A and B are shown apart, each in its own frame.
Chain A
Amino acid sequence: MTATAESTATASPRRRSVVLRRYAGWIFALPALLFYGIFEFRPILSALSYSFYQWDGVAPTKKWVGLANYGAVFTQPQQLASLIHAFVFIFFFTVLPVSFGLVVASIMRTVKPGPYGTVTRTLLFLPQIIPGAAAGVAWNWMYSRDGFVNTVLQWVGLGSLAQPWLGSFSLALPAVGFVGTWLATGLCSVLLMAGVGSIDPGLYEAASLDGAGAWWRFRAVTLPGLRQQIGVCVTITIIAALSSFDVVYLMTQGGPGYTTLVPGVEVYNLAFNENQIGAACALAVVLALIVMLIVVPLQLFFRKGDS
């Protein structure tokens, strides 16, 4: 063996070690990346590709239509209405649950640890573990003519307000949206309660000594202290609002008329009931872009606060 061969032999394991160290992360991530590529990235690319075609999902040939399917998203009344309804849902899925969650977290901060707090937390979180489909069926019954909601209204002397809620063109959307509020409030409350627990109690004490009342303690201490948790809640619930499907499909299927039609249900209808795969994919792509356009700035905003 020559000197050169000897030096190569000693350098090779070192180089191998460096290479391994450099790519160790990729090697560990490879299986997950493979799965992501096959089951996530490839379907996304396929959907993007289909969105430029008119295709029924079965025929061997597809007809190229360019951006026509995208044009339909913004000109076809039902598809446009579904996007508007999704934005209305942000109020029910995000604004209300985060607001309720903040109120609950502020109240629970003053409650001493014990069974009362545990039971409250459990009850609040309970809707979160119920599948959306099951919640949809249950709330369908509760909103029916002889259901729980109308019965309660009659008990409290408001029988004149009792009605088949999901059949009302003006009230069906808020009625379905409220189910989203009910589902998301638990998650937001538990996340925000955990966040409140991590705020230094000394800050509240100092604020009190400075003469801050409950509102100012909430504004100056609780809100900034919960910035991260609020960011998580807002992100999760906005995605849930914009991509809602199960609750709406089980409760109204988009009706009455088109008053509760949301993009998730419309994508399903277009793809599987009307066999318009291209149109469905175009709407899905637009929805994904809208979600990103909303969520990415929000993430940057909440991260900016951290730095």
Chain B
Amino acid sequence: MNKETRSVSRSSVGGRRRVASRMAVLLSVATGVAGFAATGASASSAPVTIKMFSGSGLAKVNQALATAFNKSQHGVKVVLLTVPDADYNTALPRDLQSSAGPDVAAPAALVQEVADHQLLNLNSYAKQYGWTKKFSKQALAPGRVNAHGVIGTNGSLYMAGGQAGVVTGIFYNRALLAKLNLTVPKTLAQFGADLKAAKAAGITPIVASNADGLTGHLFDMLLGDYMGARKIDNVINNVPGSTVNTPGAVAAANQLASWMSAGYFNSDANAIQQTQSYQEFGAGNGLFFISGSWIESGGNFPASFQYGMMPFPPLHAGGPYSAMESNALAFAISAKSKHQAQAAEFLNWLGSRKAAKVYVKVGGGNALGLAKITAPSLSASLTKQTENIYQLVQKDNGVLNWLQNQGTTVNADYPPQLQLLMAGKTTGSALIQKLESDVQADRQAA
């Protein structure tokens, strides 16, 4: 290397050092400005974006909630990450593994996700925002999980928000019900008599899809009647000693089996999916449709189709109404979220009356305390009927969860087992035995 080369080299190095030092000065100035902006002028900085995981079926509702929140808050923006409903349970646990995944989500399998350390313990935020004072113990219980994987009142809080959602019940074809001169059944026996009357009149009593196991809605409500909502919830919440293998559960399964063998369902129930069952019921080819209030939105039926909703009757006259209700305003925060404080702020907003009103207005469902309770009526509008059923079930402490939500094994076996029951290839007792073994398998796996 000659001298000239060395001097060029040195000057080059020196030049680079000067550039580097100037860059460092610029960077420190920029950082200082940014720091000033962050501390002294936060209103003008870009909002923190938190991602809300949503199934496509709830995208409209969740978007409305996000939009309302974004309008009313400063510094936090909620955006939706939408996946098809069928992929939700599969995608969520995997997406929660990523720090780039969702910040806020309704758990797919709360106990499992808590065990896998995917969800944030919300105890400190519950204290900060006063959720334990604002909501009853019972309202927060579905979001609490203890160290033994039991959902209930004594665990840490992993899911919180508001109280609003859909409710299950009996939908009926108004014209056919009037033709048969039927009233709102006050007991399960009366409902059975209505089914018999429809069958005798040549009308399919219940339209259902069972290729996807959706006779499960009816089975779950029968379990609520025969076993009691709290006992079913204990099984779902993994309360030690709780079992589905009870005389009540067997009686519920036998009741369903007897209706199936009596031909009270459409003959192709085992072959069709939900969408086809909507078409059948919407075409007037059946009297009853057992489902939840989510079917009221989304254009599932022709606009001209007149249908109403009645509560699932109690086992005995004057007994408590029970039905499944979801809580669409309760969410969890990802343990890997980079914006946990902002996500908690969103959860706190979801517990507001304003959020509940947005949810109801957009047709998501019903919110606790937004309607007065009246006696079930056939003449009321569908919206009023649904609101009333939601409140009735809450008043009777009859809210139960779907048994399928106990665990993945139960969930996987529900459709095939109900198909076997429909075909008379299993008995009510055998069905319950199978579900009990699934429950135990899920508990062991957790």
Chain A residues engaging chain B, CB cutoff 8 angstroms: 54, 56-60, 143-145, 164-169, 252-258, 269, 272-276
Contacts and interface: CB of A to CB of B under 8 A. Distances in A.
B94 A273 contact: no
Size category, B interface:
20 to 34
Contacts of B416: 254-258
Contacts of A273: 89-90, 408, 411-412
Nearest to A251: B211
A53 B30 CA distance: 52
A144 B420 contact: no
A209 B90 CA distance: 67
21 contacts: A56-B112, A58-B97, A58-B112, A58-B116, A144-B271, A144-B276, A164-B270, A164-B271, A168-B271, A253-B415, A256-B270, A256-B416, A256-B419, A257-B416, A257-B420, A258-B416, A272-B90, A273-B89, A273-B412, A274-B412, A275-B445
Given A58-B97, A165-B271, A167-B210, 10 more contacts: A145-B267, A145-B268, A255-B270, A255-B419, A256-B211, A256-B270, A256-B422, A257-B423, A273-B411, A275-B109
A144 B267 CA distance: 11
B419 A257 contact: yes
B272 A144 contact: yes
A56 B93 CA distance: 10
Which of A168, A169, A257, A273 has the most B CB atoms < 10 Å from its CB?
Answer: A257
Q: Name the prevailing secondary structure of the B interface residues.
A: helix
A95 to B, nearest CB: 27
Nearest to A269: B412
A5 B97 CA distance: 61
Nearest to A252: B211
Interface in B247-291: 267-272, 276
A167 B211 contact: yes
Nearest to A268: B90
Contact of B423 (A169, A252, A274): A169
Contacts of B268: 144-145, 164, 167
Closest 8 CB pairs of A and B: A167-B271, A164-B268, A167-B270, A164-B271, A256-B419, A274-B408, A166-B271, A145-B268
A166 to B, nearest CB: 4
A212 B401 CA distance: 74
A169 B96 CA distance: 39
Contacts of A165: 271
Contacts of B423: 169, 256-257
Contacts of B269: 167
Contacts of A256: 210-211, 270-271, 416, 419-420, 422-423
